[in-house]
Amino acid sequence: MIDDVAHARTDGLTAIAAARTMDELRAVEADLLGKRGPLARAKAGLGSLPAEQRRDAGRALNEAMAAVQAAADERRAVLVAEVRRAQLASERLDLTEAHRKPSRGHAHLVTQATERLEDTFIGLGFQIAEGPEVETDWYAFGALNMPSSHPARSMWDTLFVDHGPPGSTVLRPHTSPVQIRVMETTPPPIYVVMPGRVFRRDTADATHMPVFHQIEGLVVDRGITFPDLAGTIEAFTKAFFGAEFTSRLRPSYFPFTEPSAEFDIRRPDGTWLELGGCGMVHPNVLTAGGLDPEEWSGFAFGFGIDRMAKERHGVADLREMFSNDIRFIEQF
């Protein structure tokens, strides 16, 4: 009998120490101290013992029950403390976070491309100018040698703004209006590039966006000729893309340049990338800008910045650049 009690006591203490959760402890306690537990059974057997053994067995039993109860209480206290600690850790509000430096972002890849282009042109002796994104019909078309109803206006899928007489105010479809604004405010010689946002009624697809960016170039000086244009495009190509790149001009048409050309750059692998338009500034455009075409001549060019960024970083779809997905943006 005393042996049984001793066994039950040792087994019980081991089981209590091994309980890892409150539920486990509760189950162990119920087993040990419950009505059908080993101690309860021993207690029930006391009555059948001879009187002289009963006293010792009773004492052993009481001690065993007290020891088991004390061990269970102790274990419970430990487990309660553990639960509480875990809860505090999970609910912990780290106030030091507010004092930590915010993680640092960076310029969007179109902004990066614009800044690199500006740097390259500054290196070639150009200055930077900007013009408004909402323009009058005169700056967007009229001053660029496209009188109203000129068919060449349909080269740009213009977005008209509901302001003034119908058709008089537009979201600029290109950066060329800034040429006129620069001529009006800057006496030649003029060597400027004009980056900015432009708008066309285009449906977004992998290579088009209704809002995109261009950089315009304008040179007006005495005795500027077509070779100056070709040489500037070539110098820019090498400075921006690298010495292994070259450029070519293809005959084209723009109302505001004469002659006009498209310019392409040749990648080291021999493939061509169409970049933009250019040409000698049309005499009517110089006149519209307040300059005497007998005294001054010049050239202009314009090309898309977004496509250059797309080309440079191997982005498959232009729309990705404006989806505002931080996982995409963070790569550049």
| C-beta closer to ligand PHE: residue 9 or 153 | 153
Q: Given strand 127-128, what is the order of strands in its sheet?
A: 127-128, 190-199, 211-221, 297-304, 272-281, 257-266, 246-254
**Shortest distance (Å) from residue 194 CB to ligand PHE:** 10
Q: Given strand 134-136, what is the order of strands in its sheet?
A: 134-136, 169-171, 159-160
**Shortest distance (Å) from residue 296 CB to ligand PHE:** 16
**Shortest distance (Å) from residue 290 CB to ligand PHE:** 19
**Shortest distance (Å) from residue 225 CB to ligand PHE:** 16
Burial (CB count <10 Å: 0-12, 13-18, 19+), residue 24 = middle
Distance CA 174, CA 141 (A): 10
| C-beta closer to ligand PHE: residue 28 or 121 | 121
Q: Which residues pair with 260 in a beta bridge?
A: 252, 279
| C-beta closer to ligand PHE: residue 58 or 259 | 259
| C-beta closer to ligand PHE: residue 12 or 277 | 277
Q: Which of 302, 275, 98, 48 is nearest to 198 (CA)?
A: 302
Which residue reads 């084209």 in tokens?
A: 252
**Shortest distance (Å) from residue 138 CB to ligand PHE:** 16
Distance CA 196, CA 190 (A): 18
| C-beta closer to ligand PHE: residue 155 or 239 | 155
Grouping H, G, I as helix, E, B as strand and the rest as coil, residue 247 is: strand
Which residue reads 């392409």 in tokens?
A: 264
| C-beta closer to ligand PHE: residue 196 or 302 | 302
**Longest Cα separation, the chain:** 137
Tokens of 31: 């087993």
**Shortest distance (Å) from residue 294 CB to ligand PHE:** 21
- Binding site residues, ligand PHE, CB under 6 A: 174, 176, 216, 254, 257, 276-279, 300-302
